[in-house]
Chain A
Amino acid sequence: MTHVSAMADIPSAQRARPSRSPSAIFLRRVLTSWQGAFGVTVLVVIATLGLLAPWISPYSPLDINPDAFMEPPSAAHWFGTDEIGRDVLSRVLYGASVSLEVVVLAVGIALAAGSLLGLISGWLGGAWDALIMRIMDAFLAFPLLVLALAIVAVLGPDLMNAMLAIAITKTPGFARLVRSEVLAMREIDYIKAAESVGVSNLRILLRHVWPNVSGNVIVYGSLSASQALITESALSFLGLGVQPPTPSWGYMVATGIQFYQSWWMSFFPGLAIFITVLAFNFLGDAVRDALDARLGGRRE
C-alpha cells in the first residue's frame, strides 16, 4: 500500500508517462528480462552474421581447396576445413541464414494456417469443428519428426519441402490453441452482444476475437521456433532437408560423423544449432512470462 500513497505525492504532470500501447509494454517486458535480452541479442547477432555472410565470411562456402583437406582450426581457417577443403567458418556463417529463413517461414505459415483453421473451427462449431479437429488430432498423433520425415519423403528432399513439412507439423498446435481460445471467447458478453446486433462473423472474428487470441498465438509461435529449428537440422542431418552443396548446419554435422578425428567438422555447426536453439528457448520463455505478467500471473 505504501507505494500508492507515495504515488499520490508526485505531481500529476510528473506521473503522466508518454502513453504506451500494450504491445510496447509487452515488448519492454520481454527485453528487460535477462532471458529475453539474451535470446534477442543472440538471435540478432546470428541473423546479422548470416545476412552479412557474403561480405564477412573469409572464403566462399563452396570453394574447394585441394591443398587444405580437413585442416584443424588455424589462423587461416578459424573453424578448420572440411573433407574437400571448404572453410567451415564460412559455411557455418552461410548456414545461419538458411536455417533462420526456414524457421521463420515455417512458423509463419503454421501460424497463419493454424490460426485460420482454429478460428473457423471454434467459431462455426458443429460438424466443421468436429471434422477439422479430428484431422488435427490425427496429425498430432504423429511424433513431430516422424511426420516431417513422412511429408518430406512424399514431396522429395529439398529446402522448400522441409520448410513446408515443418509448417504442416506445427499447424495443428496453432489450430488447437486458437480454437480453444475462440470457444472461451464465444461465451463472453460483448461478443454475444456484437453478434446479437448483427455484426458480421468476419468482423467479430477480426476485430474482437483475434486481438484477444493473438497474444497466446505469439507465445506459442516463439516456443515453436526452437522445435522448428531442431526439426530442420534433424531433417538436414538425415539428408532430407537442405541439399548439398548449399551449406546447412545439420548436413555439416552429418558429414562430420564420417570423419570423427576431424572433430571441428561437426563440432562448430552443431554448436551453432545449440546456441540458436538455446536463444529461441530463452526468448520463448521470456515472451511467455511477459504475457503471464500481463494476464496477472494467470499461469502461476
Chain B
Amino acid sequence: MVSYFSRKLVQMLPVAFFVTVIVFALTNLLPGDPTVTILGEQATADQRAAVRVEYGLDQPAPVRYATWLGRVVQGDFGRSLRTREDVGAMLSARIPVTLELAFLSILIAVAIGVPAGIVAARFRGTVIDVMTSFLAMSSVAIPYFWMGILLIMLFSLKLGWLPASGYARFTEDPAQNLRLMILPALTIGTAFAALVMRQTRASMLQILSLDYIRTARAKGLSELIVVLRHGLRNALIPVITVIGLQIGALLGGAVVTETVFALPGLGRMLVDGIFQRDFPVIQGAILFIVVAVFAVNLFTDFIYRILDPRVQV
C-alpha cells in the first residue's frame, strides 16, 4: 500500500511540474503593466522602476519562476498587489468558506442521490425510474448560476424563508451561517445529486443481479435488508469514487456559486483577482485548487482500496 502510493506520488511529479509552469506562465503573461495595479496611473517612471526591482519584475522569466516556486514550496504565495495582504493569509481566510460549501453540497448530493438511485434501480423501467432519470438529466443541465437565482427567487423573495446572499462566520453565528449556506449548497448539491444518483443506480443494478443477492432473497431476508445491507454496501464504493473524481467540477461550480451568493470563498477570490489583475492572488487561488483536487483524488484512491480489499495494490 505504501509503495503503491509513493510510486503514484512520484508519477505525479512531472505533472505537478507542468502545472506550476502553466500557472506561472499564465499569470506572467497577464496583459497590462503590473506596476499600474500597484501604484495606480499617476506614478512616475522612476517609481515604477523601483517597484519593478522590489517585486523582482526586472528579472528574466525563468529566474522569476525559480524564485516563485522556491517561495511557494515554503508556503509563501507573496502579497496581493492591490491590498498588500499576504496571499497565504487570504487563502486561509477563504478556504473554510469554500470547504464548508463543498462539504454541505456533497452532503445534499448524497442525501438526495443515493436514495433516488436505489429506488430507480429497484424499480427499473417503471415510471419512477424514468422520472428520476429525467430529473437527473435536467438537474445536470441547469447552469449553477441560474439554479442559484431560481432558488433565491423562490426561497428568499417569494417565500421569505432564507436570506438571499451574504456570509456569516460559523464560529460567530452558526444559525445564520447555515441559513446563508443552504441555498448555495443546494445549488451545487442538486446538480451533484444527479451524478450520485446515476452512479448509485448503475452499480445497484449490477449488484442486484449477482448470485449472492439471489441467495439472500432465497433464504427469506426482507427486501429492505437485501437491498440496503447486501446491495447498497457494495454499490456505494463506486459512488465514493465518482464524488472524489468530480471534486474539481465542484470547485469550478463554487466559483460561480460564490459569485451569485456573494460568499467570500476561494472562487470569489479568484474572480476578483482576475478582474483586478492581481497575479499573486490568482496564482495562489489556482494553485490551491489544483493541489486540493490532487489530494482529494489520491485520498479517494486510498479510501477505495480500503473499502474494497479485492482491488490489488
What residues make up the interface of A, taking CB atoms closer than 8 Å to B?
Answer: 130, 134-135, 137-139, 141-146, 149-156, 226, 230, 233-234, 237-240, 250, 253-254, 256-257, 260-261, 263, 266-267, 270-271, 273-274, 277-278, 281-282
Contact = CB atoms under 8 A, between A and B. Distances in A.
B146 A266 contact: yes
Given A273-B146, A277-B143, A260 B22 contact: no
A274 B141 contact: yes
Interface stretch (B12-20, B38-46, B76-84): B12-20
B149 A145 contact: no
Contacts of B30: 153-154
Given A149-B274, A261-B157, A141 B141 contact: no
Interface string B272-294: 00110100001000100110011
B152 A260 contact: yes
A250 B149 CA distance: 12
B256 interface: yes
Given A146-B255, A234-B145, A266-B149, A135 B290 contact: no
Given A240-B274, A257-B260, A274-B138, 14 more contacts: A134-B18, A135-B18, A138-B22, A141-B294, A143-B293, A146-B286, A149-B271, A150-B286, A153-B274, A234-B256, A238-B256, A253-B146, A260-B152, A270-B146
Contacts of A273: 143, 146
Contacts of B144: 234
Contact of A230 (B31, B143, B150, B153): B143
B249 A144 contact: yes
The range of chain B's interface size is: 35 or more
B141 A281 contact: yes
B234 to A, nearest CB: 19
Contacts of A145: 252-253, 255-256
Interface secondary structure of A, over-half rule: helix
Ranked nearest first, the 5 interchain pairs of A and B with the lowest CB-CB distance are A138-B18, A270-B146, A145-B252, A143-B252, A143-B248
A92 B29 CA distance: 35
Given A144-B249, A234-B143, A139 B138 contact: no
B143 A274 contact: yes
A149 B31 CA distance: 14
Given A153-B30, A234-B256, A257 B149 contact: yes
A138 B15 contact: yes
Contacts of B275: 239
Nearest to A240: B274
A153 B281 CA distance: 12
B145 A253 contact: yes
Contacts of B228: none
Nearest to A285: B137
B286 A238 contact: no
Contacts of A267: 150
Interface centre among B27, B144, B146, B152 (most CB of A within 10 A): B146
A118 to B, nearest CB: 17
Nearest to B262: A257
A68 to B, nearest CB: 22
Nearest to B277: A153
Contact of A146 (B140, B150, B289): B289
Contacts of B259: 237-238
Contact of B149 (A152, A155, A253, A281): A253
B61 interface: no
A146 B141 contact: no
A102 to B, nearest CB: 14
A149 B27 CA distance: 11
A227 to B, nearest CB: 9
B14 A134 contact: yes
B146 to A, nearest CB: 3
A141 B249 CA distance: 11
A256 B19 CA distance: 36
B251 interface: yes
Nearest to B283: A150
B19 A141 contact: yes
B32 to A, nearest CB: 9
A90 to B, nearest CB: 20
B243 interface: no
A278 B138 contact: yes
B175 interface: no
Interface centre among B14, B149, B251 (most CB of A within 10 A): B149
Nearest to A153: B274
A130 B270 CA distance: 31
